[in-house]
Structure 1
Amino acid sequence: MIRLVKRELKTCCELLSEYEDSGKTAANPVKLQFEGVGSRDVYNIAAPFEDEGEHVIAGRVEARDSEHAQLMFFVERAGVWTPRAGAPVFALQDPFHTRIHGELVVGGVQIYPHPERPDALAWRTVFYKGASIADLQLFFTGPNGMKDLRLVELKDGSVGVFTRPQGEKGGRGKIGYACVSSLSGLTVGIVEGAPLLDGQFVDAEWGGANELHLLANGIVGVLGHIACFDDRGDRHYYPMAFGFDPVSGRFTDIELIAVRNRFLAGAAKRTDLVDVVFSGGIIRKPDGTADLYAGISDAEAHRLTIDDPFAKYEALEKT
């Protein structure tokens, strides 16, 4: 039985070597097809979810030469995903979703002019909630400069808050954790004060949580990413997962769950983004596998069948 304890800090290169030797499943790669957005790309999608009896995908829609994106909702028609009629459109990047206390929660990254550098953009995470997509209303704006802020309803009904500060506290980006009793208790101060999960990333690398799954034993399965630069300055993003016990604060080591060359070949936004896989979400399946939905090279949206990364965490001995 796997124990819920952290063992060893590893770099992207070490994790990649372990993945390549693991023989993990990587099957049925698919590039998702989108229409109705003109010449723009759809990438960094979230996993599909049900809304008013229909399966919906939220995606980042953006011109190849721009960072100004729209969060749009798509439905599948004859194998092609098209914009959902009447659905709201938000000026956000990198959508995500969850359900907390019976409500749909949708969020993304909001960009705005950098307050000190006229040629740069800054960012923050914003959250909407409602009974359905049609009812979504803004309810929380995260700290300036923080992406990858995620929420999960825990077994006792409280809300787990996974953060990703950068700068003096988080360097290039590290994961923190806090807990609030309800969404109404979420504040910028709580997010900024969340302690870091110590020992996950070397200082030259970074990562964050992308999607959170409450498992049957109360453990949170964290789907995320870990990233680094190579000597040429190219970025490398890898989908990863770990288990986190919100009671004890203990967590497992990070493991890679997929890599770029297991997906289909495709386009890239820039040459330094070719080896980028941004985890969007997973759909767990009864046969022990899961479908991973991901943004590829900041230009496309793909799906890959992998081993369910959370199955073993549901058997963790919480000691």
Structure 2
Amino acid sequence: MQTRTPTMKTCQTLLEEFQRAPQPLKAEKLVFAGVGERDVYNISAPFEDDGEWVIAGRVEERDSEQSEVYFFVEREGTWVPREGAPVFALQDPFISRVHGHLVFGGVETFPHPVLHGKLYWRTVFYRGETINQLMHFLTGPDGMKDIRLVELRDGSVGVFTRPQGKKGGRGKIGFTRVGSLDELTVEAIENAPLIDGQFADEEWGGANEVHLLGNGFVGVLGHIACFDQERNRHYYPMVFSFNPDTGEASEMELIAARSHFLDGPAKRPDLADVVFSGGLIRKEDGTADFYAGTSDAEAQKLTIVDPFSKYERQG
């Protein structure tokens, strides 16, 4: 499949362009309880399960990366662990619905096979009709985060990948499609061609949540990231549209920066300017609720202009 090369833009260029665009409307911190003194961040957007709205969230101590994923429900304005729901030893949860299945996944860490004392990672997938019926069905390639799935208009499954290393550098987005969840394999993920021209070699990014749009295009919510000269990390939430039939991608656009969210703590000083995209709830009034982790320590919701509406008018 041929992919069109969009104009490559750095974090700095995207940030300058975004400052001239419509700005987010309202920020709100989400309140979590029931997990001790641990932080909850890098959440999913709320999704419906067994008749109530649920958020999957990464839960961990401030000075650790030993993470668990809990499923939370709202009770009188506070999100608390859902009684009887499973808890997974994963990071950075995500949710999608494919062929009638609830698909849940997250990042599993394990000892690096070569570098003593270091951790390695891979994406793990589960599926079921409900949270309580989730069953493991795939473990992705070692070293790959940010694999996301979407059911396309023709019934096939779109697969967004993020290889690193020889193929993807610090992390670039690839795309392929398979006929069903049963056809999703490590080989299919590893062989997905990259979408050219999205990230400079010294920067990186990935897809976080994928939406099928009304015209058959795909709206991708993701992140683009870079280091500054002091090796501080800067993560920005971005979107682009993708035509799965032609491989054409629009140019990336930012939808927020850390300064649009409420002030709060950071896990480490080098993570103060981090927004990790979680999910987007599109609303009928032309706005959207954007759910994200901030500074690897908190979860917040930002009301923004729906960034996917204009993409639906294409094609």
Per the alignment, residue 232 of structure 2 pairs with: 234
> By how many angstroms is 1:25 displaced?
3.1
Select which of 99, 103, 106 maps to 2:104: 106
Per the alignment, residue 14 of structure 1 pairs with: 13
Cα shift readout 1:79-128 (whole Å, capped 9, x = no counterpart): 00000000000000000000000110000000000111121100000100
**Distance in 1 separating the partners of 2:214 and 2:111:** 43
Secondary structure of the residue aligned to 1:212 is: strand
**Distance in 1 separating the partners of 2:215 and 2:256:** 25
**Distance in 1 separating the partners of 2:9 and 2:257:** 16
Structure 1 residue identity aligned to 2:210: L
Per the alignment, residue 263 of structure 1 pairs with: 261
**Distance in 2 separating the partners of 1:94 and 1:51:** 19
**Distance in 1 separating the partners of 2:185 and 2:50:** 30
CA contact under 8 A between 1:177 and 1:197: conserved in structure 2? yes
Structure 1 residue identity aligned to 2:10: T
Per the alignment, residue 217 of structure 2 pairs with: 219
Q: Give the 3 Å change call, closer, same or farther, for CA 6–117 of structure 1 in structure 2.
A: closer
> By how many angstroms is 1:7 displaced?
4.0
Per the alignment, residue 159 of structure 2 pairs with: 161
Per the alignment, residue 139 of structure 1 pairs with: 137
Select which of 228, 240, 243 maps to 2:241: 243
CA contact under 8 A between 2:10 and 2:200: conserved in structure 1? yes
Per the alignment, residue 196 of structure 2 pairs with: 198
Select which of 82, 85, 88 maps to 1:84: 82
**Distance in 1 separating the partners of 2:257 and 2:217:** 25
Per the alignment, residue 313 of structure 1 pairs with: 311
**Distance in 1 separating the partners of 2:233 and 2:143:** 20
Structure 2 residue identity aligned to 1:220: V
**Distance in 2 separating the partners of 1:207 and 1:176:** 11
Cα shift readout 1:267-287 (whole Å, capped 9, x = no counterpart): 100000000000000000111
Select which of 289, 292, 296 maps to 2:290: 292
Select which of 50, 53, 63 maps to 1:52: 50
| Length-normalised TM-score, structure 2 | 0.98
Secondary structure of the residue aligned to 2:25 is: strand
Structure 1 residue identity aligned to 2:17: E
Secondary structure of the residue aligned to 1:128 is: strand
CA contact under 8 A between 2:44 and 2:94: conserved in structure 1? yes
Per the alignment, residue 125 of structure 1 pairs with: 123
1:21-60 equivalent positions in 2, closer than 5 A: 21-22=20-21, 24-60=22-58
CA contact under 8 A between 2:41 and 2:58: conserved in structure 1? yes
Per the alignment, residue 275 of structure 2 pairs with: 277
> By how many angstroms is 1:172 displaced?
0.1
**Distance in 2 separating the partners of 1:58 and 1:68:** 16
Secondary structure of the residue aligned to 1:272 is: helix
Question: What do you get for the CA RMSD once the two structures are aligned?
Answer: 1.0
Select which of 58, 62, 65 maps to 1:64: 62
**Distance in 2 separating the partners of 1:68 and 1:312:** 40
Cα shift readout 1:24-47 (whole Å, capped 9, x = no counterpart): 231221010000000100000000
Structure 2 residue identity aligned to 1:53: G
Cα shift readout 1:157-193 (whole Å, capped 9, x = no counterpart): 1000000000000000000001000000011011001
Consecutive unaligned residues of structure 1, counting only runs of 5 or more, are none
Cα shift readout 1:40-91 (whole Å, capped 9, x = no counterpart): 0000000000000000000000111111100100000010000000000000
CA contact under 8 A between 1:6 and 1:253: conserved in structure 2? no
**Distance in 2 separating the partners of 1:220 and 1:137:** 27
Q: When the two structures are aligned, how many residues end up with a matched partner?
A: 313
Structure 1 residue identity aligned to 2:242: F
Consecutive unaligned residues of structure 2, counting only runs of 5 or more, are none
